[in-house]
């Protein structure tokens, strides 16, 4: 009793012992590939904090982003829906006329309604008009950029020449609340992003240590143009990309240390993931798929499979590797279950993956997955470890020389991929079409494809879905 009184007098967080609702921290990187962390195979730089987080929690090996592109992936993450179900596709550009519809319910809205304090520090990318910004979608606080960090009027090397291909973009704002607080104008400014967001996140945790909170930290790195602050430049053996990764890992370490310092670790679920695979045609400024096929902007595993690590001291068994299928659309129902928050009123696609977090290897909360891309193309479906890729025009990075030092290399956007059935257990690289050998699997996955098409459509076969909902439209287009 005396000790508690003393702690209270010192201003230390005695309250956290009595707190029931767990805090949620969701860290999402941008374009970080499946092979980009030490614990997932990175070799020329170290990510000790994330490796430790995996050791003390669970790491997934078949975790898929909703789609392999920024806005669609984030829409899926925050609403628990396939992004095409709610009308969000691709990567939104500045002054976008669409965003998440006001009728959709985000994780932030659901937690806020359940008494949580909600903050986002990082890249939003779900519409930059005021009505679409985070404060209008359930967040109490927002500091960050409204879209990708390369949507700025600056050339790939940081200069502003007359013939600059990026001249079409407005200056890149760092928004605070609903208004620009400053602008990111140079590569040196980009180098400060991770530091700024880490500091804001820590302040948010400190301020709200006595309340349940939801902290969403969508770090804009390592999306190009990458840069690291002075303390991390030259630290890795893999040039600037490795430096950026080491700073990102430091940032995660700072967040985890803050939880420890405030005695919040046992009451905080921490999630780490990425929005899509690496932007491979940027060569030495892009990450690694860890050998998976293709990369960002494709529905092959290199585009869509990403690291996923969860830690919750005392609640999740330590040191697990989970090979069950899951997606970022599953986070909303899982977080709702853990925090005892009601689910959205409208239909969602996510499933509760608590059983996988608990280390249950027999559980199969997600049996299937639909790989949509572009506006509404059903490019592939998955059932367990089987994946059927449908004939589709798609992006390929193969056969092209990647770019260098911030400049992109060429790629092809309309490669005519043929239908193929892959067994991802034996063929994670999606190389060997086994349709002829497994006709019953082929039929099963074709049926699954038809089910997806009937529900949310398929532009490739000109099929309208019966359940698609429209994106939010700008008030003054
Ligand atoms: Ca991205």
Distance 17 CA to ligand 1 centre (A): 38
Closest Cα to residue 40, out of 273, 222, 237, 219? 273
One digit per residue, pLDDT tens: the chain, 477 residues? 445 555 445 544 444 444 589 999 999 999 999 999 999 999 999 999 999 999 999 999 999 999 999 999 999 999 999 999 999 999 999 999 999 999 999 999 999 999 999 999 999 999 999 999 999 999 999 999 999 999 999 999 999 999 998 999 999 999 999 999 999 999 999 999 999 999 999 999 999 999 999 999 999 999 999 999 999 999 999 999 999 999 999 999 999 999 999 999 999 999 999 999 999 999 999 999 999 999 999 999 999 999 999 999 999 999 999 999 999 999 999 999 999 999 999 999 999 999 999 999 899 999 999 999 999 999 999 999 999 999 999 999 999 999 999 999 999 999 999 999 999 999 999 999 999 999 999 999 999 999 999 999 999 999 999 999 999 999 887
> In the chain, what are the helix, strand and coil shares in percent, each to the nearest 5?
30, 20, 50
What token pair was written down for 391? 């004939």
> Helices 331-339 and 70-79 meet at what angle, rounded to 10?
30
Report how far ligand 1's centroid is from the alpha carbon of 30 (Å).
4
Compute CA 295 distance to the chain's CA centroid, rounded to the nearest angstrom.
15
- Write down the pLDDT at residue 477: 78
Closest CA to 408 of 31, 15, 18, 87: 31
Rounded-to-integer distance, Cα 409 and Cα 401, Å: 6
CA 297 to centroid of ligand 1, rounded, Å = 9
Q: Determine the Cα–Cα distance for residues 236 and 372; give it in Å rounded to an integer.
A: 36
* Separation of CA 219 and ligand 1 centre (Å): 10
CA angle (470, 473, 474) in 5-degree steps: 170
Cα(135) to centroid(ligand 1), Å: 22
Residues 6+ apart with CB under 8 A from 203: none
User: Measured in angstroms, how far is the CA atom of residue 271 from the centroid of ligand 1?
Assistant: 17
| pLDDT in the model for residue 6 | 53
Q: Which residues pair with residue 269 across a beta bridge? A: 24
Q: What is the Å distance from ligand 1's center to 255 Cα?
A: 22
Beta strand 308-311 with 268-274 is antiparallel
Distance of CA 260 from the midpoint of ligand 1 (Å): 30
Strand pairing category for 326-327 and 117-121: unpaired
For residue 91, how far is its CA from the centre of ligand 1 (angstroms)?
Answer: 8
Contact 278, 32 (CB under 8 A): yes
Using CA atoms, how far apart are residues 33 and 465, in angstroms rounded to an integer?
32
- Burial tier of 239 (Cβ tally within 10 Å: 0-12, 13-18, 19+): middle
Ligand 1 centre from 109 Cα, in Å?
A: 23
**Confidence at residue 11, expressed as pLDDT on a 0 to 100 scale:** 46
| Cis-peptide into 371, omega within 30 deg | no
**φ and ψ of 471, to 5 deg:** -70, 165
- State the catalytic residues: 70, 125
CA of 277 to the centre of ligand 1 (A): 7
- Alpha-carbon span 213 to 234, nearest angstrom: 36
**Separation of CA 329 from chain center:** 10
What is the reported pLDDT for 476?
87
Specify burial of residue 368 (Cβ count, 10 A radius: 0-12, 13-18, 19+): middle
Neighbours of 362 (CB within 10 A): 6
Q: Which pLDDT value is given to residue 15? A: 41
**Domains in the chain, ordered, with CATH?**
21-358 (3.40.720.10), 370-473 (3.30.1120.10)
* Res 2: pLDDT: 47
Cα 299 to ligand 1 centroid, rounded to whole Å: 14
d(CA 453, CA 464): 7
Helix (H) or strand (E) holding 72: helix 70-79
Rounded CA-CA distance 304/430 in Å is: 13
Q: Which residue from 439, 376, 419 is spatially nearest to 87, judged by alpha carbons? A: 376
Contacting residues for 47 by C-beta, under 8 A, at least 6 apart: 37, 38, 39, 245, 246, 248, 249
Quote the CA–CA distance of 285 and 239 in Å, as a whole number.
9
Maximum alpha-carbon separation in the chain: 74
Mind giving me the DSSP string for 331-377? HHHHHHHHHTPPPPSS-------HHHHTT-SS--S--EEEEEETTTE
CA dist list (Å): 472 to 99, 249, 475: 5, 35, 9
């Amino acid at each position: 009793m005396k000790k508690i009184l003393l702690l209270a007098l010192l201003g230390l967080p005695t309250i956290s012992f009595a707190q029931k609702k767990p805090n949620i921290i969701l860290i999402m990187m941008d374009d970080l590939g499946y092979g980009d962390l030490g614990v997932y195979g990175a070799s020329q730089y170290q990510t000790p904090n994330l490796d430790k987080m995996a050791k003390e929690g669970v790491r997934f090996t078949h975790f898929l982003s909703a789609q392999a592109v920024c806005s669609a992936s984030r829409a899926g993450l925050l609403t628990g829906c396939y992004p095409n179900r709610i009308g969000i596709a691709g990567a939104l550009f500045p002054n976008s006329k669409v965003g998440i519809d006001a009728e959709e319910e985000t994780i932030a809205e659901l937690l806020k309604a359940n008494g949580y304090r909600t903050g986002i520090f990082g890249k939003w990318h779900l519409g930059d008009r005021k009505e679409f910004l985070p404060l209008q979608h359930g967040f109490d606080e927002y500091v960050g950029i409204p879209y990708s960090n390369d949507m700025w009027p600056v050339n790939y090397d940081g200069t502003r020449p007359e013939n600059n291909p990026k001249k079409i973009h407005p200056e890149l704002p760092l928004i605070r609340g609903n208004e620009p607080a400053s602008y990111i104008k140079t590569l040196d400014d980009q180098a400060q992003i991770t530091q700024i967001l880490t500091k804001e996140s820590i302040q948010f945790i400190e301020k709200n240590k006595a309340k349940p909170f939801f902290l969403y930290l969508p770090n804009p790195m390592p999306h190009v143009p990458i840069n690291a602050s002075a303390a991390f430049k030259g630290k890795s053996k893999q040039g600037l990309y490795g430096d950026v990764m080491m700073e990102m890992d430091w940032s995660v370490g700072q967040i985890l240390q803050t939880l420890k310092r405030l005695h919040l670790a046992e009451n905080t679920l921490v999630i780490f993931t990425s929005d899509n695979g690496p932007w491979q045609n940027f060569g030495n400024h892009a990450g690694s798929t860890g050998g998976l096929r293709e990369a960002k902007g494709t529905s092959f595993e290199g585009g869509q499979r990403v690291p996923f690590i969860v830690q919750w001291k005392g609640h999740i068994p330590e040191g697990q590797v989970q090979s069950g299928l899951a997606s970022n659309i599953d986070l909303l129902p899982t977080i709702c279950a853990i925090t005892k928050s009601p689910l959205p009123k409208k239909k969602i696609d996510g499933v509760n993956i608590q059983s996988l977090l608990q280390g249950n290897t027999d559980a199969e909360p997600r049996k299937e997955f639909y790989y949509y891309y572009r506006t509404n193309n059903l490019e592939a479906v998955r059932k367990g470890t089987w994946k059927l890729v449908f004939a589709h025009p798609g992006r390929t990075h193969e056969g092209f020389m990647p770019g260098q030092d911030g400049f992109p290399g060429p790629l092809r956007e309309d490669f005519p991929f043929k239908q193929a059935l892959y067994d991802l257990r034996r063929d994670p690289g999606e190389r060997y079409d086994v349709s002829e050998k497994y006709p019953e699997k082929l039929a099963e996955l074709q049926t699954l494809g038809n089910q997806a098409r009937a529900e949310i459509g398929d532009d490739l076969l000109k099929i309208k879905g019966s359940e698609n909902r429209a994106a939010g439209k700008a008030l003054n287009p």
